[in-house]
Structure 1
Amino acid sequence: MRARTLTLAAAAGAALLSAAALPALAAPAPAGSGTHAAPAVYEGSVSASALLAKVSGCNQISNGKYRTDEETSATIPVCGANGAVFWKADMDIDCDGQVTSECNGDTDPWFQDDTAFHTSDDQPLTAARLPYVVVPSASSTWNYQNAGIKGGGVVAVIYNNKVEYAVVGDTGPTAIIGEASYATASALGIDPDPETGGAESGVTYILFKNSQVSPIESHSAAVTLGNQLAQQFVNNN
Structure 2
Amino acid sequence: MRTRTLALTASAGAALLATALLPTNATARESGPQRAQEGTVSAADLLAKVTSCSQISNGKYRTDEESSATVPVCGKNGAVFWKADMDIDCDGRITTQCNADTDPWFQDDTAFHQSDGKPLSAENLPYVVVPSSSSIWNYAGAGIKGGGVVAVIHNDKVEYAVVGDTGPDKIIGEASYATAKALGIDPDPETGGTDSGVTYIVFKNNQASPIESHGAAVTLGDSLAKKFLQDN
- Tell me the TM-score normalised to structure 1 length: 0.84
1:177 corresponds to which residue? 172
Aligned counterpart, 2:50 = 55
**Alignment partners' CA distance in 2, 1:90 and 1:41:** 23
**Partner residue in 1 for 2:194:** 199
- Using the aligned pairs only, state the percent identity: 76
Indicate yes or no: 2:94 matched with 1:96: no
Q: Secondary structure at the match of 2:221?
A: helix
The aligned counterpart of 1:32 is: none
SS in 1 for 2:37: strand
Q: Say which of 115, 119, 123 aligns to 1:124.
A: 119
- 1:190-234 per-residue CA deviation (whole Å, 9 max, x = no partner) reads 000000000100000000000101100000000000000000001
- Check whether the contact 1:25–1:43 (CA below 8 A) recurs between aligned residues: no
1:41 deviates by 4.8
Structure 2's unaligned 5+ residue stretches are 1-21, 26-34
Count the aligned residue pairs.
203
Aligned partner of 1:70 in structure 2 is: 65
The DSSP-based 3-state class of the residue aligned with 1:228 is: helix
Q: Which residue of 2 aligns with 1:26?
A: 24
2:134 matches 1:139: yes
1:22-59 Cα deviation digits (max 9, x unpaired): xx8516xxxxxxxxxxxx95201000000000000000
List per-residue Cα deviations over 1:91-126 (Å, max 9, x = no partner). 000000000010000000000000000000000000
Q: Secondary structure at the match of 2:210?
A: coil
Alignment of 1:131-170 (within 5 A): 131-170=126-165
**Aligned mates of 1:142, 1:105 — CA distance in 2:** 31
Q: CA RMSD in A?
A: 1.4
Using the TM superposition, give the Cα deviation of residue 184 of structure 1 relative to its aligned residue in structure 2, in angstroms. Answer: 0.1
Q: Which runs of 4+ in 1 moved over 6 A?
A: none
Larger radius of gyration between Structure 1 and Structure 2: 2
Quick one: structure 1 residues 25 and 104, their matched pair in 2 at CA, closer, same or farther if it must change by over 3 Å?
Answer: farther
1:84 corresponds to 2:79 = yes
Higher relative contact order (CA 8 A, sep 6+): 1
Structure 1 residue ranges without an equivalent (≥5): 1-23, 28-39
1:227 partnered with 2:225: no
